Structure 1
Amino acid sequence: MRRHFCKGVFGLIVACLSPVAVQAAPLVFSVPDQERVAQIESRIVALKGFSERVDAVSAQFLGTPYIANTLIGGPDTPEELVVRFDGVDCYTFVDLVRALTLSENQTGFIAALKKTRYHDGHVAYLERRHFLTDWAALTPQNARDITLTLSPQVQVTRKDLNRRADGGVYIKGLAAHPRDIAHLSPEFLTPEVAAKIRTGDVIGIYTKLDGLDVTHTGLAIWKNGVLYFRNASSLKANMKVVDTPLAAYLTGKPGFLVLRMVEAG
């Protein structure tokens, strides 16, 4: 089995919090990308349903190249708020989609992106939502974890997130913290379970690795009665945002979890 890791999970770069007065983080947002936001917003302005908006926004990313490590920050480099549409990883893809879905203009998009990507909207590396389940655990809440409602077969595993098997950490400066991770084995993705998943729900690919909740993430999209997994794929055969039938994608994977986005910024 080839294990598919979203490189964004491991490629996030450490930034230290400054002990001096807090200043607004620099914004990395090119003119072409600002124009792209305006184009996408104009295409969804008439759409009112949340799932419909997520579908329409995320479809604009189909074919977008997969690029890891697009966010800026490091031990000696302040965190910057990065907006890029020329390439995404699995995390920045869902970040951007949620922020665009919730906004109507550039100002609203930036505000929504801050709250989506960072705990309490504070742009700093240690405030990033490094783990997918941070979407449900940290404020403002991006989503609710609905995995436990899917099936009696859901399992719950207690993990010390950020703690490697060797005792080290994935994210320097971030304390390990215990969290119960609900997940369902792919064999239990029956038609009845699939029917409980909506277009726009966030799908996480569960991992058995110590210290991590998922190794990849994307969006659930229903098309013609088939449930697809829309994701920024780092597989060599793809290296772009693609749609793959969820059942096929989950073959050989240890499990999956489902988060339902909160329909407010």
Structure 2
Amino acid sequence: MNLLKIVFVLLSVTVQAAAQVVYLPSDSLVFEKCMQAMDINKDLPLQDLVVQTALYFEGTPYVASTLEQTPEQLVVNLREFDCTTFVESVLALSYTRKDKKPSFQTYCMNLKRIRYREEIKDYSSRLHYTTDWIQTNEKRGFVKDISQQLGGAILPVNLYFMSTNADKYKQLLNNPQLTDKIRQQEQAVNALPHYYVPVSDIDKRSGMVKSGDMVCFVTTIKGLDVSHVGFALHKDGILTFIHASLTAKKVIVNPISIQAYVEGIKHNNGVLFVRALEQSLK
């Protein structure tokens, strides 16, 4: 960590100590520019604002593992995304733009409420699994999983990857107590009902999906639930999506449909669709 970053981390923590925020000055600058650019769209329905905000970041670099701070802290990074941080950041920015007086502090608060289960206590406070993220934010009234109403099929969820592979996570390594917290969270999610749209039905249901709906790609890898996320987008007669692409190494509008994309991924067999609800997180 260079000196400039250390200075601004300390300043951010000092100013927002309770929120435990880590960011660079360039992040707050990107935030201000985004709010200015989205001012013309602030009165759009939330779904449309989500789309415009997502497209604003088209071309932003893909970088993984940007949240891994020890101890756990809220990381604000608008300079680079992985698929999850892209979705979380766009949702938090969209909710913030709906605020009468959008501020960086409000954005940080919104991001924390989307990303974490509760106050930031440790690594287990973060919503690591997508189905857990969806269930938690649905209970809060921030989003709604619409997979079932789209005629979705029952999705058996059996999460265990993190708790049985603790050695792959530096925060869980040699920390059985924290690993047990993760295991309990996995078991709680496993006990809940889940639905998804199988790959063969995606195009059939596309007319019921709105641009701006969150799309979550279901994986067949044992112990996991979702391998990728983005935002649905109707474009040129097909239902595609906007996402931070590992392959393209940046945020893109995918060139093929969601169904064609899933058909081309060996370990994907369908998707979940989740809709952000028109309300403030405040």
> TM above 0.5, one fold?
yes
1:185 is displaced (CA, Å) by 1.8
1:30 is displaced (CA, Å) by 1.2
1:42 is displaced (CA, Å) by 1.3
Measure the CA separation in 2 of the matches of 1:26 and 1:41: 23
Instruction: Give 2:197's aligned amino acid.
Output: L
SS in 2 for 1:248: helix
> Among residues 255, 261, 265, which one is paired with 2:276 in the alignment?
261
> Among residues 242, 247, 254, which one is paired with 2:259 in the alignment?
247
The equivalences for 1:1-265 within 5 A come to: 24-47=18-41, 48=43, 49-73=45-69, 77-103=70-96, 104-122=102-120, 124-138=122-136, 140-151=140-151, 154-161=152-159, 163-164=160-161, 168=165, 172=172, 173=179, 174-175=182-183, 176-177=186-187, 178=190, 179-191=192-204, 193-235=205-247, 238-244=248-254, 245-252=257-264, 253-264=268-279, 265=281
Count of equivalent residues: 234
* Structure-2 change in CA distance of 1:165 and 1:107 (3 Å): closer
SS in 2 for 1:189: helix
Deviations 1:119-158 (A, max 9, x none): 135364211111112233115344211101112xx32133
Instruction: Give 1:57's aligned amino acid.
Output: T
Measure the CA separation in 2 of the matches of 1:144 and 1:98: 13
**Where is the strand percentage greater, Structure 1 or Structure 2?**
1
Check the 8 A contact 2:47/2:276 in 1, yes or no. no
Fraction of identical pairs, as percent: 28
Gaps of 5+ in 2: 1-16, 97-101, 173-178
Measure the CA separation in 2 of the matches of 1:164 and 1:131: 10
Check the 8 A contact 1:159/1:210 in 2, yes or no. no
RMSD: 2.2
Q: TM-score, normalised by structure 2?
A: 0.76
SS in 2 for 1:190: helix
Measure the CA separation in 1 of the matches of 2:58 and 2:94: 16
1:232 is displaced (CA, Å) by 0.8
Q: TM-score, normalised by structure 1?
A: 0.80
* Structure-2 change in CA distance of 1:167 and 1:35 (3 Å): closer
* Structure-2 change in CA distance of 1:32 and 1:113 (3 Å): same
SS in 2 for 1:85: coil
